[in-house]
């Protein structure tokens, strides 16, 4: 009989913070694709105009990125082994959208704040994937 892995108390803190973080990503996505005027008013007009030029396939990868992240975080709360796969899907969506934006000559210039936010998104996405893989190996995810 296999002994159940003990779940460290800090695991739940990471899982809840992951839900909040990725929930905000989904909120940003939904407010943007539904063209919520109040939400988009906080962004420069040229950035909002640029969003209108994004191809539908890219918007789909954006959805994979944020949706995969939220699914992974919710799966962490359930201690489900599929959390790692969901974070992998999220990273795929992030990679495709990032490469597109970095290589698009029509993209608005990025401010230092934009670069910092992008770096934080990458760092957290990678950290959540590594975290979920370690928890899977430790037997916390089942």
pLDDT tens, 89-104?
A: 999 999 999 999 999 9
Query: How far apart (Å, rounded) are the C-alpha atoms in residues 24 and 65?
Result: 12
Which of residues 1 and 29 earns the better pLDDT score? 29
pLDDT tens, 49-88?
A: 999 999 999 999 999 999 999 999 999 999 999 999 999 9
Query: How far apart (Å, rounded) are the C-alpha atoms in residues 129 and 125?
Result: 6
pLDDT of residue 102: 93
DSSP H helices, the chain, are 9-33, 37-40, 45-51, 56-77, 82-103, 112-137
pLDDT of residue 109: 86
Angle at 20 between CA 8 and CA 60, to 5 degrees: 120
Query: How far apart (Å, rounded) are the C-alpha atoms in residues 73 and 86?
Result: 8
Report whether pLDDT(4) > 90: no
């Amino acid at each position: 009989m296999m002994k159940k892995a003990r779940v460290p108390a800090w695991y739940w803190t990471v899982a809840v913070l992951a839900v909040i973080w990725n929930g905000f990503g989904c909120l940003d996505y939904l407010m943007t694709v539904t063209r919520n005027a109040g939400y988009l008013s906080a962004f420069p007009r040229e950035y909002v105009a640029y969003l209108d030029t994004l191809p539908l396939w890219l918007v789909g990868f954006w959805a994979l990125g944020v949706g995969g992240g939220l699914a992974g975080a919710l799966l962490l709360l359930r201690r489900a082994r599929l959390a790692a796969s969901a974070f992998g899907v999220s990273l795929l969506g992030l990679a495709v959208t990032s490469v597109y934006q970095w290589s698009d000559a029509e993209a608005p210039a990025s401010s230092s704040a934009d670069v910092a936010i992008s770096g934080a998104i990458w760092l957290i996405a990678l950290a959540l994937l590594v975290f979920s893989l370690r928890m899977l190996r430790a037997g916390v995810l089942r």
